Chain A
Amino acid sequence: QSALTQPPSASGSPGQSVTISCTGISSDYVSWYQQHPGKAPQLMIYEVSKRPSGVPDRFSGSKSGNTASLTVSGLQADDDADYYCCSPAGSLYVFGTGTKVTVL
């Protein structure tokens, strides 16, 4: 099973919004992870659009057809990180190729 497809990079200035796409989804379950350099991934969104406790509401998720999206609004310096989508595919879970978000 190949990785889900994400754009390699995205960027925005502080206060702006950035949206990351994830294509190849074949399930109603999509999660998103943020990873800072040298750190473990952190769950930001699960079940397409739900936020775990402690994740700011600046992070939102959606899905249309076989494409899921993560939007980060009001960009802050700490949002500068890699982001990965994840979804079930048959009997396994597949992660996306990853998107590097740069806060300009």
Chain B
Amino acid sequence: HVQLQESGPGLVKPSETLSLTCTVSGVSISSYYWTWIRQPPGKTLEWIGFIHYSGTTNYNPSLKSRVTMSLDTSKNQFSLKLSSVTAADTALYYCASEHNYGQFDYWGQGVLVTVSS
């Protein structure tokens, strides 16, 4: 039974770095692509990017200059860092597994991150 769980601060100050971790259970992180997706309140979903255990990453061009993703295979976790945040980065952040071409099979429950001073 595959489960994903996001963790991290729910409040980040403007201009600081948002840091989230996704803990995966039930499957090795050496499988699949591991993805971050966010959803501002009342809005649609936005793909942030993915990381593969090989180290390959692919980020949304609109966020690429501020995004870094990493993997920790020993903990079966992957992480997201988003720098220089503004109020526009306030959203529910989800981690998910991608099996193939937009097939996001498993999702975490999501964590709300608010950017405010």
Contact = CB atoms under 8 A, between A and B. Distances in A.
Overall SS of chain B's interface: loop
Contact of A93 (B47, B62, B94, B110): B47
Interface string A47-79: 100001000000000000000000000000000
B70 to A, nearest CB: 20
Contact of A41 (B46, B58, B100, B104): B104
A19 B63 CA distance: 33
Interface in B61-112: 61-62, 94, 99-105, 107-110
Contact of A29 (B62, B94, B101, B107): B101
A31 B44 contact: no
Contacts of B109: 39-40
Contacts of A31: 102-104
A49 B47 CA distance: 22
Contacts of B47: 86, 92-95
- Chain A contact patch, size range: 20 to 34
A1 B46 CA distance: 11
A96 B105 contact: no
Interface string A12-33: 0000000000000001011101
A47 B100 CA distance: 9
Contacts of A52: 105
Given A84-B44, A93-B47, A95-B44, A29 B102 contact: yes
Contact of A43 (B45, B60, B104, B108): B104
A103 interface: no
A81 B62 CA distance: 29
A96 B102 CA distance: 13
A91 B58 contact: yes
B34 to A, nearest CB: 14
Given A40-B94, A40-B107, A92-B60, A84 B101 contact: no
Interface of B: 44-47, 58, 60-62, 94, 99-105, 107-110
Rank and list the top 3 A-B pairs by shortest CB-CB distance, nearest first.
A40-B107, A29-B101, A93-B47
